Amino acid sequence: MKEYNVAIAGVTGAVGSVFLSILEERKFPVKNLTALASARSAGKTIKFNNEKIEVKELKNDSFKNIDIALFSAGASRSLEFAKHAVDSGAVVIDNSSAFRMDPSVPLIVPEVNSEAILKHKGIIANPNCSTIIMVVALKPLNDISKIKRIIVSTYQAVSGAGAKAISELKDQTEKMISGRENEIKCGVFPVRIAFNVIPHIDVFLDNGYTKEEMKMVYETRKILQDENIKISATTVRVPVFTSHSESVLIETENKINVEDARKAFKKANGITLMDDFEHLIYPTPLDSSNKDNVFVGRIRDDISSENGICFWCVGDQLRKGAALNTVQIAETMIKKGLI
């Protein structure tokens, strides 16, 4: 089997560490791994396949002889360094928002639109985590009947906001439980997250929606290749450590009955069906944490519209919502002989 020289930009971050574990788990054909991060992380060591690898500073000339560059160092870093990686001969798979809406850059979820990879010009974008989880679940229903409208509310784990957000939830929870509420400080989040929910993620835009919500709108249309889908999203931060949950209502051109939806979900790639309300079987964040699939349940008719159907889905946003999807893109490219 051919092996590849792989670079990870942002290797010391939350997604970067998951990159390492997923590459190991899936036995990705890595010949040599180059670990890249900011200057403050240079000199540290990471472990990959039982070997210690020194972290190097991410620079313009970091990509010599690299075949595949996995980026998760933030949009500004991607904009600064991705072109240098491409010019050095690498294929860049970027996990930031930098290139998602660039019409020349494919936005890929392999279970949904792998054929769009063929259009790449050196850079491929990984969608937003909440978008990935939703479109994996939308795909089998859209194959039955074209989706016309989507209303989605997300319940997003704090780990989506990084390591400091996890620490903030832990610290606030400990202080609440021990009766030291007056000592609680907010840093990552504008208000207390422990025992609370925050009905916005990212900055507000002029239309009253947040940047996170509009990402779901624009990215979903691009992935499903349909600019006419009507989409409304509400994104909420909840005091959960890992895995995002989503309540999704869709309207389709033709009515999809619940049993046909269940059958479609059951046979779809990347989906685990947990749907038996009579026995209280439905997915929760705990079911999907550290798992690769998107979990789907609570499938039911939308009683407010003629051709509507509702479902609930959960997925680990660090795995399928980020690192796993990125690695799957690389695997798809190898399978198609594009690298």
Q: Verify whether residue 244 is a known catalytic residue.
A: yes
Q: What pLDDT score does 162 carry?
A: 84
pLDDT bracket for residue 31 (50, 70, 90): very high
pLDDT bracket for residue 140 (50, 70, 90): very high
pLDDT bracket for residue 339 (50, 70, 90): confident
Greatest C-alpha distance within the chain: 60
Amino acid at 317: Q
Q: Are 264 and 141 in contact (CB under 8 A)?
A: yes
Task: Give the CA count within 13 Å in the CB-facing half-sphere of 187.
Answer: 15
Q: Verify whether residue 129 is a known catalytic residue.
A: yes
Segment 45-66 mean pLDDT: 94
DSSP for 184-208, please give it. ---SSSSS--TT--BS--S-B-TTS
Q: What pLDDT score does 270 carry?
A: 96
When the pLDDT of each residue in the chain is averaged and rounded to a whole number, the result is 96
Q: What pLDDT score does 54 carry?
A: 95
Selection from 316, 325, 247 nearest residue 285 by Cα: 316
Q: Of the residues 84, 120, 200, 244, which is catalytic? A: 244
- pTM for the whole structure: 0.94
- Residue 209, C-beta contacts closer than 8 angstroms, at least 6 positions apart: 217, 233
Selection from 296, 309, 329, 65 nearest residue 223 by Cα: 329
Check pLDDT > 80 for residue 11.
Answer: yes
Selection from 47, 84, 77, 30 nearest residue 62 by Cα: 84
Distance of CA 157 to the CA centre of its chain: 12
Check pLDDT > 80 for residue 1.
Answer: no
Q: What pLDDT score does 3 carry?
A: 95
Residues in the chain: 339
What the chain holds in terms of domains, given with CATH numbers, is 4-127+322-335 (3.40.50.720), 131-317 (3.30.360.10)
DSSP for 40-90, please give it. GGTT-EEEETTEEEEEEE--TTTTTT-SEEEE-S-HHHHHHHHHHHHHTTP
The SS3 assignment for 172 reads: helix
Check pLDDT > 80 for residue 55.
Answer: yes
Place of tokens 């390492």: 20
Q: What pLDDT score does 65 carry?
A: 95
Check pLDDT > 80 for residue 147.
Answer: yes
Q: Are 247 and 297 in contact (CB under 8 A)?
A: no
Segment 38-67 mean pLDDT: 94
Q: What pLDDT score does 90 carry?
A: 97
Selection from 145, 148, 134 nearest residue 247 by Cα: 134
Place of tokens 């909420």: 236
pLDDT bracket for residue 273 (50, 70, 90): very high
Give the number of other Cβ atoms within 10 Å of residue 42's Cβ. 16
pLDDT bracket for residue 338 (50, 70, 90): confident
Q: What pLDDT score does 14 carry?
A: 80
Check pLDDT > 90 for residue 48.
Answer: yes
- pLDDT tens for each residue of 77-124: 999 999 999 999 999 999 999 999 999 999 999 999 999 999 999 999
Q: How far apart are CA 113 and CA 154, in angstroms?
A: 23
Segment 239-268 mean pLDDT: 97
Q: Of the residues 129, 186, 279, 313, which is catalytic? A: 129
DSSP for 101-162, please give it. T-TTS-B--HHHHGGGGGG-SSEEEPPPHHHHHHHHHHHHHHHHS-EEEEEEEEEE-GGGG-
Taken in order 105, 115, 267, 227, the sign of the CA dihedral is positive
In the chain, pLDDT over 70 holds for what percent of residues?
A: 100
Q: Are 47 and 53 in contact (CB under 8 A)?
A: yes
The token pair at 165 is 């957000």
pLDDT bracket for residue 330 (50, 70, 90): very high
pLDDT bracket for residue 24 (50, 70, 90): very high
φ, ψ at 53 (rounded to 5°): -125, 130
Q: Are 279 and 306 in contact (CB under 8 A)?
A: no
